């Protein structure tokens, strides 16, 4: 039986990767690259898409490599312990805007974004795989997964809510603010990742394939639960990716900027932070909800339907600052579904890893869990790329300042562009939720 201390230690890992680095990368990066760093819409779309295509190769390779690691610290934990500092450092450098010309800045963005994807993979794939070796008890796996999601969403709430206030406190240009906050959040993410590696334990002895073989990769495509769950994972990250990445554009171009109500500053990070609290609460309640409906599969279906209905409802909200509390209410209610399905996904990956061991005779836990990380990054990247592409199709164009830095030309933000932004936050995610529901319905493992 694992202690509360260990469960909290495990939660710190996703508080760092999901609650800090990935949250900022998902919600701020499309806007940051186009409006602060100075990349064009086309460059931003290409950067995010190329990086995630790169992950399609690196994530499964990392999973296979992690499965074969042998050290005094275990199989997966050393990647957290020794990867913590590079993880925080590269994140900080990625949020720094160098005083370079347009070509050099483009190279800088590509190099550090790709490096961030590599180090994120090197830390997060082993982190996810830990769930398969900390306990054999299925209920305890659900508890660990629930703690993980509570940690991620609690830290996500803190990150998003504090971001505009920290920017105001730092002062200076937007580029200076992002650089300072990148350094601060990078240090915090590194410390949490290291703590996770030191506080957790690996108890389950794996039946391992000691030699590298492509048979493990081939077996994945014979594994129906893996194929379906990976597709579900990509869809969940499409769903989240569209909403988080579009939030900044909603406030900039649909709401007319930040909204101040008394002493409360509501910008895009605070707006999504309301949903983080709901995700945190319902992530904690997810195991109880799962027990009530009878299986992880049925719980996932119900969660997907919640996301579908409320995403469609958001489309019909008037596009005015006066609707802000109604917008927040629907974000909160949609997050009930997100909070329920998020821990289920990782617990279901543990079930798929057990299924693979029983079916094919050797453990491929790291390889199985790497597909979860790959789905996360692939979904986020494609959604980010599509946002930049579709805004361009809707009529948004770029304008350069005297230094050659580009941002979206406010004059090009017509009603069609604003409608596209609204659709990308509502109807696009709703369509993805339909696919999620269908895939969960045919998913064969009914634990």
| Tens-digit pLDDT profile for residues 217-268 | 666 677 788 888 888 988 888 888 788 878 888 888 888 887 877 777 788 7
Q: What is the pLDDT of residue 345?
A: 82
Residue carrying the six token digits 């805004």 = 391
Q: Look up residue 208 and give its DSSP letter.
A: B
User: Is the model's pLDDT at 20 over the cut of 60?
Assistant: yes
Between 400 and 369, the higher pLDDT residue? 369
Q: Is the pLDDT of residue 406 over 60?
A: no
Q: Burial, 211: exposed, middle or buried (Cβ in 10 Å; 0-12, 13-18, 19+)? A: exposed
Contacts of residue 416, defined as CB under 8 A and 6 or more positions apart, other chains included, come to 394, 395
DSSP tally for the chain: helices H, then strands E: 16, 4
Residue-wise pLDDT tens digits, 324-363 = 999 999 999 999 999 899 888 878 887 887 777 777 666 6
Q: State which of 124-133, 150-159, 223-232, 303-312 shows the largest mean pLDDT.
A: 303-312
Q: Which of 246, 268, 272 is nearest to 330 (CA)?
A: 272
- Least Cα distance to 443 among 347, 319, 306, 307 occurs for 347
Rounded Cα–Cα distance for residues 407 and 31 (Å)? 9
424 membership: H or E segment, kind and range? helix 415-425
pLDDT, greater one: 191 or 352: 191
Give this prediction's pTM: 0.69
How confident is the model at residue 392, as a pLDDT?
Answer: 80
pLDDT digits (tens, 9 = 90+) for 375-397: 666 666 666 667 777 888 888 87
Handedness of CA 314, 317, 319, 324 (dihedral sign): negative
Name the token pair of 250. Answer: 């909603």
């Amino acid at each position: 039986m694992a202690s509360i201390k260990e469960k909290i230690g495990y939660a710190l890992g996703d508080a760092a990767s999901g609650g800090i680095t990935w949250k900022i990368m998902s919600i701020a990066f499309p806007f940051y690259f186009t409006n602060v760093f100075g990349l064009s819409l086309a460059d931003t779309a290409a950067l995010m898409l190329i990086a995630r295509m790169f992950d399609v190769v690196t994530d499964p390779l990392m999973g296979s490599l992690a499965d074969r690691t042998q050290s005094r610290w275990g199989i997966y934990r050393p990647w957290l312990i020794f990867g913590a500092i590079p993880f925080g450092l590269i994140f900080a450098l990625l949020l720094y805007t160098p005083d370079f010309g347009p070509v050099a800045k483009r190279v800088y963005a590509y190099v550090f974004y790709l490096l961030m994807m590599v180090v994120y993979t090197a830390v997060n794939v082993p982190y996810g795989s830990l769930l398969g070796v900390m306990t054999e008890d299925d209920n305890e796996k659900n508890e660990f997964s629930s703690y993980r999601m509570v940690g991620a969403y609690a830290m996500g709430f803190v990150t998003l809510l504090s971001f505009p206030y920290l920017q105001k406190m730092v002062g200076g240009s937007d580029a200076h603010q992002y650089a300072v906050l990148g350094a601060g959040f990078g240090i915090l993410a590194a410390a949490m990742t290291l703590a996770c590696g030191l506080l957790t334990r690996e108890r389950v002895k794996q039946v391992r394939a000691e030699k590298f073989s492509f048979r493990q990769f081939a077996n994945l495509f014979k594994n129906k639960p893996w194929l379906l769950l990976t597709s579900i994972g990509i869809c969940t990250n499409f769903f989240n990716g569209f909403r988080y990445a579009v939030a900044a554009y909603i406030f900039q171009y649909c709401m007319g900027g930040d909204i101040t109500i008394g002493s409360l500053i509501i910008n895009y990070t605070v707006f999504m932070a309301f949903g983080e609290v709901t995700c945190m609460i319902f992530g904690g309640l997810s195991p109880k909800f799962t027990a009530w409906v009878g299986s992880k599969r049925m719980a996932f279906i119900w969660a997907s339907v919640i996301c579908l209905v409320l995403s469609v409802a958001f489309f019909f909200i008037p596009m005015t600052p006066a609707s802000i509390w109604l917008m927040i209410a629907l974000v909160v209610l949609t997050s009930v579904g997100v909070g329920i399905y998020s821990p289920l996904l990782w617990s279901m990956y543990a079930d798929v890893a057990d299924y693979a061991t029983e079916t094919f005779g050797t453990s491929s836990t790291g390889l199985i869990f790497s597909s979860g990380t790959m789905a996360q990054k692939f979904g986020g990247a494609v959604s980010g790329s599509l946002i930049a592409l579709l805004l361009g199709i809707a009529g948004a164009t770029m304008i350069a300042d005297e230094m050659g830095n580009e941002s979206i030309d406010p004059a090009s933000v017509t009603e069609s562009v604003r409608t596209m932004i609204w659709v990308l936050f509502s109807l696009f995610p709703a369509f993805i939720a339909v696919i999620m529901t269908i895939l969960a319905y045919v998913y064969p493992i009914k634990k």
